[in-house]
Structure 1
């Protein structure tokens, strides 16, 4: 099979297109013929900075966590009826050397989630880490529902910071589907159009000197939940716009920046701060997220494409380096790598 691999850390030049044997699934695993691979920030960061202590965990790594494809073999203990099933794959490269930037990947059965018949492989490859992160953030609020489903957030106001980003777009779509009034902060009119296309009721320019007043004009009682991409930079704004008993759910990292906030104000208003890291979430939360996201996709509530606020940028497998560079350079939308043709 064709695969992209790297054996040392570094820039895109460490990526190689090679031929490798088709992997065999072990107990509890499935093999997926990858049609589309999705690229995340964690992919280029692992390539450039390593997995642990600046080093790789494996002699050779196939990158990328997310993808869309078809199960073509199963290991011991997995229902044989899964063969031929369309799936979306996520967390493929977490503590494993075999990601989705290859014609075949092997993952635990739970990480190959059935893809509804009405959902494209492109959308499937665009779910993965970003949709699971958005799901976890949306359920981080105080007295939040146990599941994310249609109407489960009715009556609440959610503010999504960076509404044109990958997780931001997913949070807008899922939040609107769940019945919340979703506001989004953006940095340009073009990004405002994308956030509105995703389902935001209103957008606010976060660079404005009146950003707090602008948000408060839309949510006079404050927002119940803030889905935050840059907590350190935005902490003062966040605290000012939260309603009493509100929550900041932060999924973004800002290097080694130190987060500081006024304890008297936060304690007095019973505010909550929830950090979100998908890879280290409890297994039960991951399973809940994948099931809820699949249901939302089946209902057309989360999708990919410029018309729903997530422009797609596509590259062939041999240009995986360009794809990772696009993500690293902050392209707006979702970057995909086309790996193989869908079965006719």
Structure 2
């Protein structure tokens, strides 16, 4: 069986996934593409031998499409996901699930009414070999009781339309999810600190860097450095401090060069480069679930909803600098 994929949103990540389906993924083919830019849709449809659509609903309800792959902007996600649910089609959605927790709750309610998991959310770090190895070290108890975590999310630069709110909703979302994945517990409080100094490379409207402090149910304290104009590369770090030992992902060296000038490591310059294997694995997981006739696995709509709740608390703290509690409702049985 070849799963017919309809891909919505042909920006940077959409094109990356389009190429992935064409070159890496087995058991699926992109048969339809959609973008509000008709020229982009037409050109990429011709290049990848797909049918171009200009409205998401038309693609979702087309007989050319077995499953929907959403790479559009966050504010468009809710309507497109609900449309896919109404069509009874499995859907992969890039993060965030929605910009706000209230919108995410609508998706939760709709999926629960359907009686089965239809959605996989694009928190790709769960499929990264390094994070998976780190989770196994924690699970086996080798570190002892976990006390602290240090995270860093560094981008070489961001465009001028990147806002301080996006540092929480678009950047910190990955750390929020991976904290829950690694520790197997929820975040109950958030505080956002604004250092007095900011990088000269940031646009005038943007405070960069930021420090976000999370606290989990058991009292683990996590600091997350968000530095989105660090200049030197895309550098993602995570260190877990246990009572008996420390483990972490503190290097993403893909190549090492030795010369008379010394030794240097290559630092990735984009998430697509750093997490290429994770992206491949998450997409193949989505396709394999459909091919086997199984419900979706991996990051769920509930995971996206909880992350949105934490982000809402973070945005509140961004305004007043205070600690904000995160109140998480009871998890529906569908996601247990």
Counting helix residues as a fraction of each chain, which structure ranks higher?
A: 2
> TM over 0.5: same fold?
no
Give TM-score, length-normalised by structure 2. Answer: 0.35
